[in-house]
Amino acid sequence: MRAFLPPLLALALLSAWAAPALRLQGEVEGPLVLTTPNLVVEGKGAVLRGKGGHTLSLLAPGIRVRGLKVVGAGPEEDFFEPHAALYLRGCEGCLLEDVTVEGAPTAVRVEDSPGAAILGLKAQGLGQSPGVLVYGSPGARVEGGWLRGYMDAIYVEYSPGMRIVGNRLEDNGRYGFHVMFSWQVEVAGNESRDNGIGNAVMHGAENRIGENRLYGHKSPVGYGLLVQDEQGTEVRGNLFAENTLGLVLMDATRVRVAGNRFQENGTALRITREKGGNSAQVEGNAFWGNLYDLLVDDPLAKARVVGNRYDRASSLPVPHLPTGSFALLLARQPELSLLALSPGVILWEAAEAQVPGLRLVALADPQAAPVAWEARFGGLWAFLGLLGGVLWWWRRG
């Protein structure tokens, strides 16, 4: 039987074979403006240097840029309209892959480019603008990048269905990731650490924040994550460690906080208000080594706290109170934190845990359990394992 190709497949293969290509080599002087749809730009080993404005502008659908290093852009550092090493506008389905950026206010600025993908970006910023700025681009993706030294590493507005996955975001002036006015955004598997304030998801709905490592945000207002004015958002399976505040819910309704680990934060979970009216389901989380596990500073809040594990919980099947009246007082007068570990406050909290006030009873966890013994002493087990390995090696030798 004679082989044949279906007409649509044949057309697709012909289009791929005929796709225009541009090969950059050595040192190339910018700026460059590309307006050819589906252009393939191969830049491995090449350096594109900018002298002003956007260094490389992609202004047509389907353009792909691979392996290019871009140095310089500017000088405009306005947070919302900065000059960028790579500027995408009307670039639906465009792809940036394994691009490196140095010396530009913003690494990548994306506008009105649905489905644009930024994969494996490595970028060092100048401190005043976002590393990746995405505006009005549904379904865009930023994955596998490493961004440091920006005001916000990744800043997003009006881009529903976006994915921010597997990035390393560190030492930025304000936020690692900062998502605004968007819904059904997935933020997963990122490591965000040592940023000036932390990370934030604000003024959106049904966003999913999962399996991230958010730690080292220790400024007076530092937090692992702020969820503000959100509806139906889920925070699941994250690590919040060594932050002044682990997770902050502010004016957030129908939020689910599940399966997270809060470790060695000042306050692990704070529910607070600007306008008031929080509602949250807090279940299946682990609280270990925090100064305070839960602080609710919103009289209108509806927080259901159930089935969590605590390092202070009794092994008996009795409700555990993860907060206290001193914690509420501390929310209004932070300067009292100096007294948090004083003998008087410790006795106060111990007594209150036995006979909590009526308001605090609603925050008790009726299905509390102690943190697993191995979790409390994981460092000891690691040391003993290492010591045993050394002794085994010594005896064998």
DSSP letter string, 254-282: SEEEES-EEES-SEEEEEE-SS---EEEE
- Across the range 158-183, mean pLDDT stands at 98
Considering the domain architecture, whether residues 142 and 201 belong to the same structural domain is answered as no
Number of domains, the chain:
2
* pLDDT value of position 218: 93
- Closest Cα partner for 70 from 40, 41, 90? 41
Amino acid identity for residue 380 in this structure: L
| Rounded distance between C-alpha atoms, residue 261 and residue 239, angstroms | 5
Considering the domain architecture, whether residues 218 and 329 belong to the same structural domain is answered as yes
Considering the domain architecture, whether residues 139 and 241 belong to the same structural domain is answered as no
* pLDDT value of position 66: 97
Amino acid identity for residue 226 in this structure: L
Residue by residue, DSSP assigns 159-198 as -TT-EEES-EEES-SSEEEEEES-BS-EEES-EEES-SSE
Mean pLDDT of the chain: 86
Considering the domain architecture, whether residues 260 and 342 belong to the same structural domain is answered as yes
* pLDDT value of position 252: 96
Considering the domain architecture, whether residues 203 and 116 belong to the same structural domain is answered as no
Residue 396, pLDDT above cutoff 90 = no
In a domain, 163, yes or no: no
- Closest Cα partner for 68 from 27, 15, 21? 27
The confidence band for 322, taking pLDDT boundaries of 50, 70 and 90, is confident
Residue 336, pLDDT above cutoff 60 = no
% of the chain surpassing 90 pLDDT: 70
In a domain, 201, yes or no: yes
Span 256-306, pLDDT tens digits: 999 999 999 999 999 998 887 899 999 999 999 998 899 988 888 899 999
In a domain, 217, yes or no: yes
Answer whether 290's CB lies under 8 Å from 262's CB.
yes
Strand partners, 87: 57, 109
Last residue of a domain, one of 108, 127, 146: 146
Q: Which domain holds residue 77?
A: 18-146
In a domain, 185, yes or no: no
Considering the domain architecture, whether residues 108 and 249 belong to the same structural domain is answered as no
Amino acid identity for residue 391 in this structure: L
Span 345-383, pLDDT tens digits: 556 555 555 555 544 556 888 899 998 754 544 444 334
